[in-house]
Amino acid sequence: MDDRISYEGRDLEAMAVLSRYNNWILGMFSPYLAGHCVEFGAGQGTISEILLPNLNQLDLVEPSTNLFEILQKKFHGNERVTLFGETIETHIKSTTPASMDAAILVNVLEHIEDDRLALSDIKKILKPGGYMLLFVPALRILYSEFDKLVGHYRRYHRDELGQMVSDTGFEIISNKYCDVLGALPWLVLNRFFGSTELNPALARIYDFIGVPMTRAFELMVPPPFGKNIVLIARQPFD
């Protein structure tokens, strides 16, 4: 597999303006962030920037040539960040086993054809008690032309994802749907009307109004479905 590819990144550009949404993800991950971590599929570094204050060292792995150039500019001179322009498979082959405190994948696993193999590979580099932090798109009914266009092989259901992670040998700490409010707009705009763009203006409005509402709701009531899944898993100690 060629490590040096190009990725258009239209979804990443839209996600970059969602400051409340991105901080919501961080809030769910932050109890498990410490020490030396690796973020796979770092993209433009939007999530990386908000992860970094919680860590001693952050390795960023990004196979796309154009996105890797953005990362180089963004983190130039930062001694706590190490960049790797390669795939997960290649990076793990050269990483010391049981050396990472956490592995972070935000909107990445759905881009990997053999996701089960990727999880097995990631498990090899985590210390005993280390964490894998996943954020993935949810619900097959929401799979749209946009998903296909940006390279998503699939959208996940919570129980199926949890079973796959457990089968790989991880201990599940938390596995839940999130962004219940975002599921309906995605269904209507992307699934039924076939939109292949994320409108930055609408994204900002949702980030300002929708994210605080659904975040507050989900703190009180675990949603039975949602646009995404957040899964926290741990490398067993034995």
Residue 199 token pair: 């409108």
Does residue 163 belong to any structural domain of this protein? yes
DSSP class of 21: H
Q: What is d(CA 45, CA 68) in angstroms, rounded to the nearest whole number?
A: 9
Q: Which of 19, 11, 92 is nearest to 44 (CA)?
A: 11
Please give the share of the chain, as a percent, with pLDDT higher than 70: 93
CATH number, residue 43: 3.40.50.150
- Considering the domain boundaries, does residue 226 fall inside one? yes
Q: Is residue 181 a part of any domain in this protein? A: yes
Q: Are 52 and 46 in contact (CB under 8 A)?
A: no
pLDDT band for position 1 (50/70/90)?
Answer: very low
How many other CB atoms are found less than 10 A from the CB of residue 161? Answer: 21
The reported pTM is 0.93
- Number of structural domains (the chain) is 1
pLDDT over 90, % of the chain = 83
* Residue 4 lies inside a defined structural domain of this protein: no
* Structure confidence at residue 11 (pLDDT): 54
pLDDT in tens, 114-168: 999 999 999 999 999 999 999 999 999 999 999 999 899 999 999 999 999 999 9
Q: What is the pLDDT of residue 12?
A: 54
More confident residue, 9 or 46: 46
Query: Looking at the domain assignment, is residue 51 inside a domain?
Result: yes
What tens digit of pLDDT does each residue of 30-46 get? 999 999 999 999 999 99
Asked, for residue 2, whether it belongs to a domain, the answer is no
Q: Collapse the DSSP code of 198 into the 3-class scheme (helix H, G, I; strand E, B; otherwise coil) and give the result.
A: coil
Residue 230, domain member (yes or no)? yes
Q: Which domain holds residue 36?
A: 10-234
Domain assignment present for residue 29? The answer is yes
